[in-house]
Amino acid sequence: MSVPVFTHPACLQHDPGPEHPETPARLGVLLERARAEPGIQVRQADAAPLEPLLAVHPRAYLDHLAAVSARGGGPLFLDTVANQASWAAALGAVGAVLAAVEHAHTGQGNAFAAVRPPGHHALASRAMGFCLVANAVAAARHAQRQGRERVLIVDWDVHHGNGTQALVEHDPSIRYVSLHQHPWYPGTGMADERGVGNVFNVPRGPGAPPARYVDDLWAAIAAATAGWTPDLVLVSAGFDAMRGDPLGGFTLEPEHYADLTRRLRERLPDAPLVGLLEGGYVPARLADGVLAHLLALA
């Protein structure tokens, strides 16, 4: 079975600046590799309308993002910078994520959204951590509108998805599992942060053997799905937990992402799986990790 990779050209135009680690090359290298891989189809999605974003963010915040881009860009919050294309990139990223969800929802198989800017740090009314809008939460809300009531979000980015957690932690219809480095940016994601029993955080220190991270994340996924079967699985697929990433200290390799992907498919065979790109700051290594995930999705 082929796996579609949904993207949007505006995602390559978002550029926080020459010294910023969240570069267009992250996506460019990935798409080049994906197009050369048999069994992977890169598809262009339409940009999202405002409505799916309004299910997550206030209109005033979205208007602010659009206005900053319209005047040529500028800082949004500390490490998070927009340029003139950033608002279009945010809409394009959400459009690609929604297209991947639609593909999975309609029974066509698993899918992946190759997008930037990433989304799991974005709060309801604040950009942060290179993220402008909450891509995974917009995807979950869209799936629920389509009738997939229970959504599992697995976040294996090396940084805790504080934005995702803040947006879903009071909603028992969504369960959030996050493996992340601690102490590390953004300083959230402790194990005792449980939401309404729907949050499963796995904070771990750097430099451990890869099996420790894989096993501990898997134990949290098993706990989250014990007696609770999701209708859709979303993976906030950051690859900055790979060995050698400049923004993390974990030790994972591409085969570990493939293993986790296969385990998810085997444990939850009736729930389609959609991956969406988060972090990963060595473009060639990022592409290696994504391709391992994609081939396991197939």
Active site residues: 121
Residues with Cβ within 8 Å of residue 266, at least 6 apart in sequence: none
From CA 31, how far away is CA 122, in angstroms rounded?
A: 24
- Run of H or E residues at 213: helix 210-224
Structure tokens at 18: 């020459």
Structure tokens at 107: 């029974």
Strand partners for 247? none
From CA 29, how far away is CA 22, in angstroms rounded?
A: 13
- Can you say how many angstroms the Cα of residue 102 is from the centroid of all Cα atoms in its chain? 16
From CA 137, how far away is CA 94, in angstroms rounded?
A: 10
From CA 34, how far away is CA 83, in angstroms rounded?
A: 27
Q: Strand, helix or coil at 207?
A: coil
- Cβ–Cβ under 8 Å, residues 265 and 224: no
From CA 54, how far away is CA 66, in angstroms rounded?
A: 14
**Measuring CA to CA, how many Å separate 252 from each of 136, 154, 245, 260, 280?**
22, 16, 10, 11, 12
- Cβ–Cβ under 8 Å, residues 97 and 6: yes
